[in-house]
């Protein structure tokens, strides 16, 4: 009998299983990533010490002009901020509502047909792959400038984000829940309403809260492309070199984003605590 940790042919120590020879695909990926990093560091996206040093001085000039913040236009700023909050809330709600039936069709254990599964997965992939900023530009072209384009862009982005995680949550539930209801003769809608959705609801809520946090930040950026909200005010202030006014806008955005994150975290803790009882 050979000793543990030795090769049966030569008696030399055997290579531990975790040090297996990498595959050709792994080597290719490592080489490609390494080449991109080397090219980016030297040419494409280089970070040079001289530009960093100059940037520190320019940043100091910006801070000196931005402090103290200018609050003379606080009224219009708060009004635009309210529009941004409403964009985030409305877009998230629409996206979450659309995500539920999309996820049901995109889950292996609940999709009624393979074609619907493929179409639903394709919609989710496209919604997630295209950045929300690009969606904002598309909807600005479609419906014009203003918050409506921002709401639609956020809704599509949330639909892709939540649709994927909702579908994975549905696929991870205990198959016995579905099989038991089907054995009792429950219709498809009854299986979904009585077995699938109640089991996935905690996961749905926590995922929706993460989407809301992301939407609060996205709604600011969408304003930069004409989708309404506080982003337009920020872009105008920066373009006109009104850095003190821009500082007021940035502080207002910070307060709103932190508020969204705190409320979202509190709701997640409450939901997870109720589910664990």
Q: What is the pLDDT of residues 54-86, one digit of tens each?
A: 767 777 777 777 788 878 888 888 888 888 888
Q: What is the 3-state secondary structure (H, E, C) of 128-174?
A: HHCCHHHHHHHHHHHHCCCHHHHHHHHHHHHHHHHHHHHHHHHHCCC
Q: Are 70 and 134 in contact (CB under 8 A)?
A: no
pTM comes to 0.77
Which CATH superfamily includes the segment(s) 74-275?
MetI-like (1.10.3720.10)
Share of the chain above pLDDT 70, in %: 83
Query: Distance of CA 103 to CAs 99, 109, 159, Å?
Result: 6, 11, 9
Q: What is the pLDDT of residues 203-216, one digit of tens each?
A: 888 888 888 888 88
| The pair of three-digit structure tokens given for residue 42, joined into one six-digit string | 């030297």
For 173-193, give one letter per residue: b (16+ CB within 10 A) or e: beeebbeebeeeebeeeebbe
Helices (H) and strands (E) in the chain, counts: 11, 0
Task: Using pLDDT thresholds of 50, 70 and 90, give the confidence band for residue 17.
Answer: low
Q: What is the pLDDT of residues 147-203, one digit of tens each?
A: 888 899 999 999 999 999 999 888 888 777 777 766 776 667 777 777 778 888 888
| Residue 65: count of CB within 10 angstroms of its CB | 13
């Amino acid at each position: 009998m050979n000793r543990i940790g030795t090769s049966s042919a030569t008696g030399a120590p055997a290579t531990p299983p975790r040090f297996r020879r990498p595959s050709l695909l792994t080597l290719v990926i490592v080489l490609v990533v390494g080449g991109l990093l080397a090219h980016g560091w030297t040419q494409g996206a280089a970070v040079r010490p001289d530009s960093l040093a100059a940037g520190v001085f320019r940043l100091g000039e910006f801070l000196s002009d931005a402090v103290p913040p200018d609050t003379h236009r606080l009224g219009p700023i708060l009004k635009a901020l309210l529009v941004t909050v409403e964009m985030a809330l409305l877009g998230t709600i629409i996206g979450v509502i659309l995500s539920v039936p999309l996820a049901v069709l995109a889950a292996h254990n609940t999709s009624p047909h393979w074609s619907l599964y493929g179409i639903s997965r394709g919609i989710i992939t496209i919604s997630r792959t295209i950045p929300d900023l690009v969606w904002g530009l598309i909807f600005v072209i479609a419906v014009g400038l203003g918050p409506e384009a921002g709401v639609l862009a956020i809704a599509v982005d949330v639909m892709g984000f939540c649709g994927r995680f909702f579908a994975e949550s549905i696929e991870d539930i205990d198959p016995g829940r579905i099989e038991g209801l089907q054995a009792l003769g429950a219709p498809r809608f009854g299986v979904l309403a009585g077995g699938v959705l109640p089991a996935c609801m905690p996961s749905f809520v926590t995922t929706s809260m993460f989407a809301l946090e992301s939407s609060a930040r996205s709604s600011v950026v969408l304003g930069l492309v004409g989708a309404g909200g506080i982003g337009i005010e920020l872009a105008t202030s920066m373009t006109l070199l009104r850095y003190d006014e821009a500082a007021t806008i940035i502080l207002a955005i910070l307060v709103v984003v932190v508020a969204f994150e705190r409320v979202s975290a509190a709701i997640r803790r409450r939901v997870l605590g109720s589910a664990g009882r």
